[in-house]
Structure 1
Amino acid sequence: MHDGEFAVDDALARALVTESFPELDERELRRVRTAATVNSIVRVGNDLVARFPLLPASYEELQREAAAMTALADACPVRAPLPYGLAHGGETYSSAWSMQTWLPGITAHFDAHAGSVSLAQDLAALVRALRAVDPAGRVFDGRGRGGILPDHDEWVAECLDRGAHLLDVPEAARLWQALRVLPRSGPDVMSHRDLTPFNLLIDVRAGETRLSGVLDGGSFGPADPGLDLVAAWHHFDAPARQVLRSSVGAEDVEWLRGAAWAFQQAIGLAWYYEESNPTMSALGLSTLRRLLTDEELSAFT
């Protein structure tokens, strides 16, 4: 999926686990096939999972991720993985890597639950619970989404060019130009920062889809209040989006900035993963469709 990414075959995974966590040497290893774009995922026994970065990561980076995961799990109204341990890079695999607890469950899908009011309510409760954590004076760290929208102009322009065969470029460009100049709606709040379907676990009970777990909490931290509202656009069609919006209590500017961050993420997913990860590309196209056909956004532009 990425230029220069690491390959971790089964033999290397076994060697790395044995070297860094000898107490786990007897456990069965099972590769997990997911839409993940950051790590190779290998289950270790029934209750742990090894995450091998596809691109180099430092030990210090993974220490920060582990601390963020723990903070997210403490605040989360549903289950979230916890760190088990970290390993330094070496000769056979130069990146640091991590071991964490495994959560069983089914990941959400961008089309399968588009009208689910119960899932929209659960996601809103998650956003509210994370926002209730005190940032303790911290602000957005400048990495990725969640800061200043115009900082992403160059990336969006590249995506509009390279994804021109996938969408209506003039319409998409008009939407970005309208959204990118929106003012901040308030100070930073604590945010998961990547509430895509593949980071959520669900249960279906009595015909209702409910949130049962949250994955990939390593980026938990302060960000634009609109950032976690990307979940509305990644998961839901218009009526369920409004349920989430009302339940979170998002006012107009915050809601529209959420649409802007969803656009910034989706426009890259669509073309970047078109061949290497079609599932992730399909998520981007689904989110763009929702954004470009939304009546409120159409009136706004």
Structure 2
Amino acid sequence: MTVIIDTHLAGKLIAEQCPQWADLPVSPVATSGWDNRTFHLGDEMLIRLPSSADYAGQVSKEQQWLAHLAAELSVRIPAPLAAGKPSEIYPLPWSVYGWIPGETAAAHPPADKIQFARDLAHFLNEFHNIDAGGGPSAGLHNFYRGGDLAVYDSETRHALTQLSTQTHCALLEKIWEKGLDSHWTAPPVWVHGDISAGNLLTADNRLQAVIDFGQLGTGDPACDFVMAWTFFDAQSRRVFFDALQTDDATRERAMAWALWKALIVSINPHNTNVTEAQQAERTLEHIIADS
């Protein structure tokens, strides 16, 4: 059945499964994500409903692991408050979380990117050092974030042939192949899987919180470093990697992850919005300039 995910549905689900909050107003957030439709519940909570069955598995994963991770981090992450069950009006699991105030770095980029690079590196160092034993290995559930880049080899090579300009294709292919040539050989670490400006909340130009752990998994941390090219400039990129103290091979895989995403967006601009398409072009420019 086709389900329209709107405030009416969200309110009905709360009334049915969380009646203690049934009197609270439900309203859409200013910007909802792709994987989930998100609504305010009163002033201090959020309702998150997966937009399709493809993302339903994220609910139990976040419910199981976020509290464990939060206890080890100095930066805030979402706190699950209730787990909704599939029902006749909505066939997927869903969640209620605490509301974290702040603006995203996408909507309000911090003025001091050097400090923000240090803040993000500090979070990632903490996050990647949390014991990952028992955590979900990279796979289809998180679109292989933390897994082997080879999963996206055919897609990337096809994208390279479709670029509107072929000027830098040889260089970009070399960058991709460098990423493929190395592998994470240390024990798996926690991977957020979608470290992007839209998932980082700021306050007073500092990192306030990291949200949206739907791509959570364990494996190679390289995919968590893509903001080096999607967001930071040359100077803040150097500060970012200096603070991470990662090796060259991991940095090369990180660049390859950033390249893959930028390529598939660039060749399919009709599947995204103008902002995302422009960011993909800038990312390619940053990768080329950094090579």
Give the TM bin, normalised by the shorter chain. 0.7 to 0.9
Counterparts of 1:5 and 1:283, CA distance in 2? 32
Q: What letter corresponds to residue 209 of structure 2 in structure 1?
A: G
Aligned counterpart, 2:181: 181
2-side partners of 1:148 and 1:217: how far apart? 20
| Corresponding residue of 1:193 | 193
| Aligned Cα root-mean-square deviation (Å) | 2.8
Secondary structure at the aligned position of 1:175 is classed as helix
1:131 aligns with 2:124: no
TM-aligned CA deviation for residue 269 of structure 1: 3.8
- Three-state SS of the structure 1 residue aligned to 2:37 is strand
From 276, 285, 288, the counterpart of 1:289: 285
Provide closer, same or farther for how the CA distance between residues 191 and 5 of structure 1 changes in structure 2, counting only shifts above 3 A: farther
Counterpart position of 1:250: 246
Counterparts of 1:217 and 1:240, CA distance in 2: 25
Deviations 1:142-172 (A, max 9, x none): 232211111211222354466x348867253
Corresponding residue to 1:211 among 207, 231, 235: 207
Report the CA distance between 1:201 and its aligned residue: 0.4
Indicate the residue corresponding to 1:236 in structure 2: 232
Q: What's the counterpart of residue 266 of structure 1?
A: 262
Distance, in Å, in 2 between the alignment partners of 1:110 and 1:181 is 36
Deviations 1:250-291, CA, capped at 9 Å, x for gaps: 121111111112222333344556454433334333322211
Are 2:211 and 1:223 equivalent residues in the alignment?
no
Q: Indicate conservation of the 8 Å contact 1:57/1:97, yes or no.
A: no
Q: Deviations over 1:159-203 (max 9, x none)?
A: 4466x3488672533432333223436332222221111110012
Q: Distance in 1 between matches of 2:43 and 2:232?
A: 32
Tell me, in whole angstroms, the C-alpha distance in 2 between the residues paired with 1:255 and 1:110: 27
**Relative to structure 1, is the Cα distance of residues 197 and 146 closer, same or farther in structure 2, using a 3 angstrom cutoff?**
same
Whether the 8 Å CA contact 2:46–2:96 is kept in 1: the answer is: yes
1:64 and 2:57 aligned: no
Q: Does the CA-based 8 Å contact 1:69-1:216 persist in structure 2?
A: no
> For 1:27, what is the secondary structure of its paired residue?
coil
Distance 2:27 2:229 in 1: 33
Q: CA deviation at 1:217?
A: 2.5
Paired with 1:277 and 1:69, the residues of 2 have a C-alpha distance of 30
Q: For 1:226, what is the secondary structure of its paired residue?
A: helix
Match of 1:120 in 2: 117
SS of the counterpart of 1:8?
coil
Q: Distance in 1 between matches of 2:261 and 2:165?
A: 15
Residues 254 and 185 of structure 1, relative CA distance in 2, 3 Å threshold: farther
Deviation larger for 218-227 or 274-283: 274-283
| Paired residue type of 1:172 | L
Asked whether the 8 Å contact 2:146–2:219 carries over to 1, the reply is yes
How far residue 26 of structure 1 moved from its aligned partner, in angstroms, is 0.8
Shift of 1:59: 6.7
Query: Structure 1 counterpart of 2:289, which letter?
Result: T
What is the percent sequence identity of the aligned residues? 27
Q: Which moved more, 1:262-271 or 1:93-102?
A: 262-271
SS of 1:212 mapped into structure 2: strand
CA contact (8 A) 2:83 2:94 kept: yes
What TM-score comes out, normalization by structure 1 length? Answer: 0.84
Q: What is the DSSP-based 3-state SS (H/G/I as helix, E as strand, rest coil) of the residue aligned with 1:75?
A: coil
Structure 2 residue ranges without an equivalent (≥5): none
Q: Is the 8 A contact 2:80 2:96 kept in 1?
A: yes
* 2:76 alignment partner in structure 1: 79
Distance (Å, rounded) in 2 between the aligned partners of 1:236 and 1:72: 26
Count of residue pairs brought into register by the alignment: 287
CA distance in 1, matches of 2:241, 2:107: 18
Question: Is the contact made by 2:179 and 2:254 (CA closer than 8 Å) also made in structure 1?
Answer: no
Change (3 A) 1:5 1:103: farther
1-side partners of 2:165 and 2:92: how far apart?
35
Contact 1:123-1:211 within 8 A present in 2 as well: yes
User: How far apart are residue 243 of structure 1 and its match?
Assistant: 0.4
SS in 2 for 1:146: coil
1:116 deviates by 1.0
